[in-house]
């Protein structure tokens, strides 16, 4: 018979949902941090390089946002190993998955900072879960965006897969046409470190041979 004496003086202190400390939200490098709640935080370097910042309403320069593409759902590359692709597009496009929209104060300044907004992206959260990049016991996972290896389509035009979010057709698959789009492959930070370590080891072996 099990001994449950440990329950006699037990007092459970429930502190509610565990959240990341504010100083642990923004990652470093060219990285997206995806939390277990589905919030996404870009690094400063990524915001600068991909022009993701929210600009004043009156600004002629609107900047870019990101489309999230599951390669397994995109017919031209569905036969290849499954990866996460980030499509860089102007914020002027409709249905941009990440960093596409922001509300403004009456003076035209953005109400949110792209670095700390923590926009929700269910599509990206589902992907990192399905690909085992984010485990149940993890508060977040970091995705390194391979801006050094851009992926383009013919004529820079793509009909990317989307899921209808509202209305009677909610949950159904559709496509969205994008022009002047470029894609970047996103990989888990841990996986990239392992690949770099393996490359270093191979280089050492070549040098010593």
Specify the pLDDT at position 12: 56
How far is the C-alpha of 92 from the C-alpha of 58, rounded, in Å?
A: 14
* Per-residue tokens: 46: 């990524």
Averaged pLDDT for residues 147-165: 90
Longest Cα–Cα distance in the chain: 73
- What is the reported pLDDT for 15? 46
Cα atoms in the 13 Å half-sphere on the side-chain side of 183: 23
pLDDT given at position 168: 81
Query: Global pTM?
Result: 0.80
* Strands (DSSP E) found in the chain: 31-35, 39-42, 64-70, 84-90, 119-120, 140-145, 157-163, 173-179, 182-188
pLDDT in tens, 2-58: 555 655 665 555 544 445 555 568 899 999 999 999 999 999 999 999 999 999 999
Task: Compute the average pLDDT of residues 151-155.
Answer: 90
For residue 133, what are its two tokens? 């990049």
How far, in Å, CA of 3 to CA of 103, rounded?
57
Residue 96: pLDDT over 90: yes
């Amino acid at each position: 018979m099990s001994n449950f004496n440990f329950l006699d003086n037990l007092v459970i202190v429930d502190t509610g949902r565990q959240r990341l400390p504010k100083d642990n939200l923004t990652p470093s490098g060219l990285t997206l941090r995806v939390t277990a709640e589905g919030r996404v935080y870009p690094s400063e370097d990524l915001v600068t390089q991909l022009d993701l910042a929210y600009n004043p309403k009156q600004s002629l320069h609107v900047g870019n946002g990101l489309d999230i593409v599951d390669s397994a759902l995109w017919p031209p590359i569905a036969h290849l190993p499954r990866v996460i692709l980030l499509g860089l597009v102007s914020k002027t496009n409709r249905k941009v998955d990440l960093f596409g929209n922001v509300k403004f104060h009456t003076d035209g300044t953005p109400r949110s900072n792209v670095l700390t907004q923590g926009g929700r992206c269910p599509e990206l959260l589902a992907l990192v879960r399905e690909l085992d990049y984010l485990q149940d016991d993890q508060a977040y996972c970091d995705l390194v965006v391979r801006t050094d290896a851009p992926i383009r389509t013919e004529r820079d035009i793509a009909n990317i897969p989307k899921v209808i979010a509202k209305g009677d057709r909610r949950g159904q698959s559709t496509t969205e046409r994008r022009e002047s789009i470029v894609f970047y492959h996103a990989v888990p930070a841990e996986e990239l470190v392992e690949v770099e370590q393996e490359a270093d080891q191979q280089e050492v072996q070549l040098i010593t041979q």
